[in-house]
Structure 1
Amino acid sequence: MKHEKAIVVFSGGQDSTTCLFWALERFKEVETVTFNYNQRHQLEIEVAKSIAEELGVKHTVLDMALLNQLAPNALTRDNIDIEQKEGELPSTFVEGRNLLFLTFAAIAGKQVGADHIVTGVCETDFSGYPDCRDVFVKSLNVTLNLSMDHQFVIHTPLMWLDKADTWELADKLKAFDYVRTKTLTCYNGIIADGCGECPACVLRQKGLEAYVARKEAQ
């Protein structure tokens, strides 16, 4: 039996698109919300819009330009290199991003009658981002429910999956080829398999190769 309505935090990347397919299987009605924080790869907003349109779900873009102003990083500044130094968070970490995204998704969701929020955060392949941890999501879920006196449920279908497992999930959802060819994960803004060099592309490609090898071995 499907639940009523969900809102998916949607970037048009591998993870959030897999989550969108996951949500479409489980909820009677699904909407997507994308955040514009003047990110380096603005193309992701167009990709998200295109995917939502193709899959027949309502898509909303919210202006989060203040996040760009507050949190300079490699995803919002062309003059900051994409890198990760030992013992430090990657330069692509955006302070407070998931805190704000999930909070605004909840506010938007309540207005349209969505009790369920779906996000592609993952603790297994999370690059050390503190706002991708399960404990953070559970804590925020409690806080959102208290702050709005509402019973939201935040779903994290990828939380304990590595990238190979995420490809496997997409395959089970009959979305493998779609995710591989239509999504934008690359930090340099190249759709599908991407540039092959940035951390996001390397992680995606390693996961893909691991899953294909696993499947062939079966």
Structure 2
Amino acid sequence: MKKAVVLLSGGLDSTTCMAVAKSEGYELYPISFDYGQRHNRELECAKNVAKYFGVKQHKIIKMENVGGSALTDKNIDVPDYKGDNEIPVTYVPARNILFLSYALGYAEVIGAEAIFIGVSAVDYSGYPDCRPEFIKAFQKVVDEGTAAGVKGKSIEIKAPLIYLSKAETIKLGTKLGAPYELTTSCYKGGEKACGVCDSCVLRLKGFEEAGIKDKIEYERSL
């Protein structure tokens, strides 16, 4: 069976990617990261999602926290949703570059043909590493900088949600049986999602526009 590494954060988008990869006939090899994020709730969710999909191995990589983001520095407050396209303080410097690099090495080791990443250029928070230009550039790195690439058997970076709105992503994941009740999207990591950070608001709007009930609990909701 063909293999795929899936970047699994424990959130809605990465869980949708797991469902998409499974639907395309891949054997799933999720990889998650402990990068010094301000809470471990998302990693617990990632473990639950991986268990739900019955994967053979779920790799969790421990990384040094370099700071510089509200998601990794508790001295920087997580802001409420603003709705603009400015790069927010929740941007983690070079995060997807680092994540994809680890995933790429892992993919070469296990002989995977693809890496799935749940980035979207439609409903996102202004992050530069969620754009099609970034995915295209990293694919060039894969093609030119790996043994698989130079041998003509390059590993494909697959971003199936890149042009989907959050509502379209939710509809797709629901159709494919993605277990959204096991996920979290909140930047604050409380027992209940805050409902007011960028990620919570985009998620809530997505479910509302999709006409589907979100099964997780919120402190506040739209």
Letter in 1 for 2:59: T
Q: Does 1:37 align with 2:35?
A: yes
> What TM-score do the two structures reach when normalised by structure 2?
0.86
Letter in 2 for 1:183: T
Letter in 2 for 1:186: C
Q: Equivalent of 1:78, from 67, 74, 89?
A: 74
Q: Distance in 1 between matches of 2:78 and 2:61?
A: 25
Offset at residue 87 of structure 1 (A): 7.0
Q: Percent identity?
A: 42
Name 1:158's counterpart in structure 2. Answer: 161
After superposition, the C-alpha distances for 1:4-44 in whole angstroms (9 at most, x for unaligned) are 11000000100000110111111341110001101012121
Q: Distance in 1 between matches of 2:62 and 2:15?
A: 21
Aligned residues: 204
Name 2:111's counterpart in structure 1. Answer: 113
Offset at residue 190 of structure 1 (A): 4.0
| SS of the residue 1:8 aligns to | strand
Name 2:141's counterpart in structure 1. Answer: 143
Contact 1:82-1:90 at 8 Å conserved across structures: no
Where do 1:189-200 residues align within 5 Å?
Answer: 189-190=189-190, 194-200=193-199
| SS of the residue 1:140 aligns to | helix
More helix by share: 1
CA RMSD of the aligned region, Å? 1.8
Q: Does 1:212 align with 2:215?
A: no
Contact 2:114-2:158 at 8 Å conserved across structures: yes
> What TM-score do the two structures reach when normalised by structure 1?
0.88
After superposition, the C-alpha distances for 1:92-148 in whole angstroms (9 at most, x for unaligned) are 001100011111101011111112000001111122111111111111111122111
CA spacing shift, 1:163–1:87, aligned 2, 3 Å: closer
More relative contact order in 1 or in 2 (CA 8 Å, sep 6+)? 2
Gaps of 5+ in 1: 214-218
After superposition, the C-alpha distances for 1:36-62 in whole angstroms (9 at most, x for unaligned) are 101012121121112112211120001
Gaps of 5+ in 2: 149-153, 213-222
CA spacing shift, 1:47–1:174, aligned 2, 3 Å: closer
